[in-house]
Amino acid sequence: MCEVQVRTVLQHAWAEIEHDVQYKSEADLPKSLKKKFLSLAGLLEIADREFQAIQDEDARLKSSVLADLQDELTRDAVSETQNIATKGPSDGQNVNQNVRALLLQGLFHEAIKIYDEKIAAEPRSYTLYIGRAKARFLSGDTTGAKEDIEVALDLNPDAHVARNLKVKIIEGDVRAIPLTNDVALARSKTHAGNAALRDGMGVAAYEFYSDAQKAGASVPFSITNKAMACLVAGDYEGAKILLDSFRVIYGTPAAINIQALYTLLSCLTDAVDWEARIADLQKSVEEKGDFEMQLSPLPIVKEGLEKTVIDAEHRRRIAETFGALG
């Protein structure tokens, strides 16, 4: 906020100077004054660029923290889905979904209130302090965020997520710190996730894919895999959040993969939207011409959905969606 105010003051000051000096007759301005005027204009242009760079960096940092928090909430929500069939929605899942919805709307203070209530009930849960730290940071309360991080580290000195967040907030480094950067481990976790997904075990698959990402697996591939796990697990809101985080280049195989996953999501949630999406998907596949589904991750989610989706109409739409892919 301070940076924005300083920038605004400079802009107003420049407007006054420009009006009083620049728009006078050329004959009224000594050469020395014109030279200083041009020098000042250059300095203010540099300052304006730096202010914009600060704003851009702050936006990237907040976007990174928000993505991390959404991912954690989705991981918790996915884990809760296995209890729905027998016990119905749990309080934990409802809380996670409520916080996730508030974050999507930018209602960070409301999300913090939910964390306050959960921490009051579970004061030794370090993960709650990490979640509230992220929500506080997003709300602009950096001091409160740092305090929560320190509490989390006191409760669990080995908490990698807390250490990672501390680096982001204090150093402004948006790059994730891999747990191991172990290519072999990342690959093995991904393979385990694929096997679980094929068996219809979306919850286990999500855990494996998350571990693979922490070990250094490709972030775009990991997000795609986790979105597929959400679909199989039945966490459709989580799948949408993950898919919405992509910025894809249209016409590429990756873009068709994401488009297909959106279409599958509509299969299970919105029949009208699905009809529009499958038509667009068919068009994209035809325009691409050489899309090969067997080289994509889609056959894996196909097997998983076939094992978990019971509703006949949903199964028909899923089959038609994969038929559109060739």
Question: For position 164, what pLDDT does the model report?
Answer: 82
Whether the predicted pLDDT of 277 surpasses 90:
yes
* CA 301-305-308 angle, 5° bins: 140
Q: Are residues 207 and 285 in the same domain?
A: yes
Whether the predicted pLDDT of 281 surpasses 70:
yes
Sorting pLDDT into bands at 50, 70 and 90, what band is 94? low
Question: For position 33, what pLDDT does the model report?
Answer: 65
Q: Are residues 170 and 237 in the same domain?
A: no
Of 207 and 87, the one with more pLDDT: 207
Whether the predicted pLDDT of 1 surpasses 50:
no
Alpha carbon distance 15, 41 (integer Å): 11
Q: What average pLDDT does this structure show over 205-234? A: 90
Domain termination site, one of 124, 149, 177: 177
Q: Are residues 2 and 135 in the same domain?
A: yes
Does residue 23 belong to any structural domain of this protein? no
Least confident of 71-85, 238-252, 278-292: 71-85
Does residue 132 belong to any structural domain of this protein? yes
Of 108 and 263, the one with more pLDDT: 263
Tokens of 40: 């000042």
Tokens of 38: 């041009």
Q: Which amino acid is at 315?
A: R
Q: What average pLDDT does this structure show over 142-163? A: 89
Give me the number of domains the chain comprises: 2
Q: Are residues 173 and 311 in the same domain?
A: no
Alpha carbon distance 175, 198 (integer Å): 31
Sorting pLDDT into bands at 50, 70 and 90, what band is 228? very high
Whether the predicted pLDDT of 101 surpasses 90:
no
Of 5 and 231, the one with more pLDDT: 231
Q: Are residues 255 and 117 in the same domain?
A: no
Q: Are residues 76 and 172 in the same domain?
A: yes
Does residue 92 belong to any structural domain of this protein? yes
Whether the predicted pLDDT of 297 surpasses 80:
yes
Query: Which residue in this structure is represented by tokens 């940076």?
Result: 3
Q: Are residues 1 and 144 in the same domain?
A: yes
Does residue 49 belong to any structural domain of this protein? yes
Does residue 18 belong to any structural domain of this protein? no
Sorting pLDDT into bands at 50, 70 and 90, what band is 86? very low
Q: What average pLDDT does this structure show over 50-62? A: 70
Domain termination site, one of 150, 177, 204: 177
Q: Are residues 126 and 194 in the same domain?
A: no
Which structural domain, as residue segments, surrounds residue 266? Answer: 183-324
Alpha carbon distance 120, 128 (integer Å): 10
189: burial class by Cβ within 10 Å (0-12, 13-18, 19+)? buried
Of 234 and 39, the one with more pLDDT: 234
Of 85 and 207, the one with more pLDDT: 207
Residue 70, sorted as left (phi over 0), alpha (psi -120 to 50) or beta, turns out to be alpha
Question: For position 67, what pLDDT does the model report?
Answer: 72
Least confident of 170-184, 204-218, 298-312: 170-184
Alpha carbon distance 68, 104 (integer Å): 13
Q: Are residues 300 and 238 in the same domain?
A: yes
- Give tens-digit pLDDT for 62-85: 777 777 777 777 777 766 665 554
Q: What is the CATH number of the domain that holds 260?
A: 1.25.40
Q: What is the CATH number of the domain that holds 128?
A: 1.25.40.10
Alpha carbon distance 228, 234 (integer Å): 10
Q: Are residues 165 and 207 in the same domain?
A: no
Q: What average pLDDT does this structure show over 318-326? A: 91
Does residue 33 belong to any structural domain of this protein? yes
Domain termination site, one of 177, 194, 221: 177
Q: Could you give the 3-state DSSP secondary structure of residue 25?
A: coil
Phi, psi of 148 (to 5 degrees): -65, -35
Do residues 43 and 211 lie in contact, with contact meaning Cβ atoms separated by under 8 Å?
no
Does residue 140 belong to any structural domain of this protein? yes
Q: Which amino acid is at 134?
A: K
Alpha carbon distance 179, 170 (integer Å): 19
Q: Are residues 168 and 269 in the same domain?
A: no
Whether the predicted pLDDT of 178 surpasses 60:
no
Question: For position 77, what pLDDT does the model report?
Answer: 72
Of 294, 303, 215, nearest in space to 264 by CA: 303
**Helices assigned H by DSSP within the chain:** 2-17, 31-80, 84-87, 91-104, 108-121, 126-139, 142-155, 160-171, 183-198, 202-214, 219-233, 236-244, 253-269, 271-288, 298-308, 312-324
DSSP string, 210-251: HHHHHTT--HHHHHHHHHHHHHHHT-HHHHHHHHHT----TT
Do residues 153 and 159 lie in contact, with contact meaning Cβ atoms separated by under 8 Å?
yes
Q: Which residues of 289-325 are buried (b: 16+ CB within 10 A; e: fewer)?
A: eebebeebbbebbbebbeeebeeeebeebbeebbebb
Do residues 185 and 179 lie in contact, with contact meaning Cβ atoms separated by under 8 Å?
no
Q: Are residues 201 and 155 in the same domain?
A: no
Of 87, 114, 91, 92, nearest in space to 103 by CA: 114
Does residue 50 belong to any structural domain of this protein? yes
